[in-house]
Homo-oligomer: A and B are copies of this chain.
Amino acid sequence: MTKGEETRQGIIEKAAPLFNRRGFHGCSMSDIMEATGLEKGGIYRHFASKEEIAQAAFRYSVESSIKLRTTGVEGIESPVETLRAMIARFVHTPSAVPGGCPLMNTAIDADDGNETLRGLVREAFKAWRGRIVAVLERGVVAGEFVADADVDWLANTVMVTLEGAVMLSRLERRKDPLLHAQRALDVVLDSVLVS
């Protein structure tokens, strides 16, 4: 990394938790200046606009989350155990970037016409869905899941249950909603297991 790239990356890493916690409108350029210790000009040397920083920060937050939440999952042989481990990882590991799940936060925040950011969130959910569907399809091939398991239904169910649970857990500052979500997903997964 050149010195310039390092500065740019530093801005992204400092801005990511600000945007994740406060949303696009709630995070001002002054907040980013304060967090980075840079002048406005120093930041605008690397980014054309606050929008561009928010987009780079979101990408960084998503990458960090994926890294954190797939660690230790890849080595598991059984697809159904892989999926359970992915869920457990989500339930027991806090978000890589402080402020809760960046996908949900940005989805809620960006429905106010911020179309580029909204597009990035959509892509992130699509990619997550793809990773879950891939595991489910391996599970069907391996004979763990029934042949007619509706993988889209299951993938959406996993994502929305976990996202809703992280919201409620954060609001109530207790882990129960996440643990309850995990138990509910076990029931749903059991319903498509080959017995």
Contact = CB atoms under 8 A, between A and B. Distances in A.
Interface string A83-116: 0000000000000000110001101110110000
Given A26-B25, A100-B108, A188 B180 contact: no
Nearest to A23: B23
Contact of A104 (B99, B167, B177): B167
A131 interface: no
Contacts of A105: 108
Interface of A: 21-26, 99-100, 104-105, 107-109, 111-112, 118, 121-122, 125, 152-153, 156-157, 159-165, 167-168, 170-172, 176-177, 180-181, 183-184, 187-188, 191
Given A23-B25, A153-B183, 6 more contacts: A22-B25, A118-B171, A125-B171, A160-B163, A160-B167, A162-B164
